[in-house]
């Protein structure tokens, strides 16, 4: 059977209608893909906006006020101590970084590992951290940070380049918005009584060393908690609305003395001129002075409170005699207390605590029984 081949050359040409149809299909496909991507992106943006709004609006008012106070404190310290002041000294940062390299410390979250034998730190390498801790305690106690007063000034007291941005800042909390939009602030600090010389030496000369650490009258834990909770915040009712201690209807043998006994202290029995000796008994123990009052005794700040045996009670009701004293007492400015042990204890600390809330007080005046 014979075989053969046929060669056919075809020249195809897309018609105008076919080209238009193809262009329409391609355009529709691209449009649908771009629209889908756009809507997905918009949903992602909306989710991010909602998360940010939730993060901003769901912070309780007390937390906002405390954050603002912390920023004021940080700015004040930078202003007073200079831009080179390190809130965390480089040698201590290096110490923790070396622990992070050995996987014993999570430096990003500030947590030590619970595995193994803990941090591999020698006494010499840890010494700077101890000094740093003393400095932190000194700064927080030397200033009455609970009584810091500050005035916010307008946005234009900042660099001009930031004016437009600052003016557009919005926040659901009005006080926070005013804080964020402020260009500068005037801050009034109160140095705690008894800390004036040490604070000036620290700020002006950087003095913080052997003469301060062992002898300075650091606050007791109870007093520090009390002062911390005395902080009042703008727009928040005070935690201590009464402005003083709670009512106390109990009875106790207690009095006050305005005498002054300084070194050298008298030898033998000592008689106190008191407001009243009612309730005091011979043979009982007298607790003299306040627990939290400290004075420099032989280079160390110590509490002046002491306990002594009552040896005599004057008939005039104005004098109490004890078997002696071992510490100085000064009631010339503020009378010091004398209490009788075995009666009622002496209050050494008291504080009122804030509870973080939304800061919104809601008053319900409707008759709930009639509400459907």
Same domain, 286 and 224: no
Q: How many CB atoms lie within 10 A of CB 283?
A: 7
Whether 288 and 255 have beta carbons less than 8 Å apart is answered as no
pLDDT, tens only, 270-294: 999 999 998 899 989 999 998 778 8
Using alpha carbons, list the distances in angstroms from residue 92 to 144, 296, 329. 27, 32, 42
For 317-342, what is the mean pLDDT? 90
Q: Which residue, chain included where needed, has tokens 């050995």?
A: 102
Whether 167 and 202 have beta carbons less than 8 Å apart is answered as no
pLDDT number for residue 119: 62
pLDDT number for residue 211: 47
Total domains present in the chain: 2
276 inside domain: yes
Q: Which residue, chain included where needed, has tokens 């009875």?
A: 251
- Per-residue confidence band for 118, with pLDDT thresholds at 50, 70 and 90: low
- Provide φ and ψ at 308, rounded to 5°: -140, 155
For 159-176, what is the mean pLDDT? 90
For 117-143, what is the mean pLDDT? 78
> What is the token pair recorded at 147?
């009584």
Is the pLDDT at 342 greater than 60? The verdict is yes
Same domain, 160 and 275: no
Same domain, 68 and 171: yes
Identify the weakest region by mean pLDDT among 6-20, 83-97, 234-248, 291-305.
234-248
Alpha helices, DSSP H, located in the chain: 16-57, 61-81, 90-101, 123-142, 163-167, 174-181, 196-205, 221-228
Identify the weakest region by mean pLDDT among 90-94, 163-167, 262-266.
90-94
Same domain, 129 and 272: no
Is the pLDDT at 343 greater than 70? The verdict is no
Same domain, 174 and 310: no
How far is residue 192's CA from residue 199's CA, in Å, rounded to a whole number?
Answer: 9
Same domain, 325 and 218: no
131 inside domain: yes
Same domain, 214 and 163: yes
For 112-118, what is the mean pLDDT? 55
Q: Which residue, chain included where needed, has tokens 């947590």?
A: 111
Whether 338 and 287 have beta carbons less than 8 Å apart is answered as yes
- Per-residue confidence band for 71, with pLDDT thresholds at 50, 70 and 90: very high
Same domain, 67 and 215: yes
Same domain, 224 and 258: no
Using alpha carbons, list the distances in angstroms from residue 246 to 126, 263, 344, 345, 352. 44, 36, 16, 15, 10
- Which percentage of the chain shows pLDDT scores above 90? 28
Sign of the four-CA dihedral 275, 278, 282, 284: negative
Question: Which one is predicted more confidently, 47 or 358?
Answer: 47
Alpha helices, DSSP H, located in 85-242: 90-101, 123-142, 163-167, 174-181, 196-205, 221-228
247 inside domain: no
Same domain, 259 and 224: no
How far is residue 317's CA from residue 23's CA, in Å, rounded to a whole number?
Answer: 113
Domain that holds residue 100: 62-228
346 inside domain: no
32 inside domain: no
How far is residue 139's CA from residue 131's CA, in Å, rounded to a whole number?
Answer: 13
75 inside domain: yes
- Per-residue confidence band for 159, with pLDDT thresholds at 50, 70 and 90: very high
Same domain, 269 and 168: no
Nearest to 303 by CA among 344, 354, 348, 256: 348
For 163-173, what is the mean pLDDT? 90
Q: Which residue, chain included where needed, has tokens 């926070």?
A: 176
291 inside domain: yes
What is the DSSP code (8-state) at residue 147? G
371 inside domain: no
pLDDT number for residue 212: 55
Alpha helices, DSSP H, located in 306-354: none
What is the largest distance, in Å, between two alpha-carbon atoms of the chain?
156
pLDDT number for residue 319: 94
pLDDT number for residue 156: 93
> What is the token pair recorded at 244?
């003083």
pLDDT number for residue 5: 78
pLDDT number for residue 201: 82
Nearest to 74 by CA among 163, 139, 2, 154: 139
Same domain, 176 and 322: no
């Amino acid at each position: 059977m014979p075989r053969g081949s046929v060669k056919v050359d075809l020249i195809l040409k897309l018609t105008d209608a076919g080209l238009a149809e193809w262009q329409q299909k391609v355009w529709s496909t691209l449009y649908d893909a771009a629209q889908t991507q756009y809507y997905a992106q918009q949903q992602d943006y909306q989710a991010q906006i909602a998360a940010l709004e939730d993060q901003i609006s769901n912070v309780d008012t007390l937390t906002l006020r405390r954050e603002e106070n912390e920023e004021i404190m940080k700015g004040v310290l930078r202003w007073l101590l200079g831009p080179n002041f390190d809130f965390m000294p480089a040698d201590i940062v290096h110490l923790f970084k070396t622990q992070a390299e050995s996987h014993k410390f999570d430096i990003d979250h500030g947590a030590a590992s619970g595995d193994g034998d803990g941090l591999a730190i020698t006494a010499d390498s840890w010494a700077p951290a101890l000094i740093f801790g003393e400095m932190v305690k000194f700064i927080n106690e030397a200033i009455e940070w609970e009584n810091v007063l500050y005035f916010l000034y307008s946005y234009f007291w900042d660099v001009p380049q930031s004016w437009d941005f600052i003016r557009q800042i919005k926040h659901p909390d009005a006080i926070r918005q005013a804080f964020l939009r402020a260009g500068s602030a005037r801050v009034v600090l109160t140095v705690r009584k008894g800390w004036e010389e040490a604070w000036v030496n620290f700020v002006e000369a950087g003095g913080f060393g052997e003469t301060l650490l062992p002898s300075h009258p650091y606050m007791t834990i109870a007093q520090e908690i009390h002062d911390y909770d005395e902080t009042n915040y703008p727009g928040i009712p005070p935690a201590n609305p009464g402005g003083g201690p709670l009512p106390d209807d109990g009875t106790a043998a207690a009095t006050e003395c305005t005498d002054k006994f300084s070194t050298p202290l008298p030898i033998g029995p000592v008689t106190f001129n008191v407001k009243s000796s009612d309730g005091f008994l011979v043979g009982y123990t007298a607790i003299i002075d306040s627990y939290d009052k400290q004075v420099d005794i032989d280079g160390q700040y110590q509490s002046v409170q002491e306990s002594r045996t009552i040896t005599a009670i004057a008939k005039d009701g104005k004098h109490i005699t004890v078997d002696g004293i071992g510490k100085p007492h000064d009631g010339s400015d503020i009378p010091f207390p004398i209490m009788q042990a075995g009666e009622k204890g002496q209050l050494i600390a008291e504080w009122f605590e804030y509870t973080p809330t939304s800061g919104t007080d809601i008053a319900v005046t409707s008759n709930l029984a009639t509400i459907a």
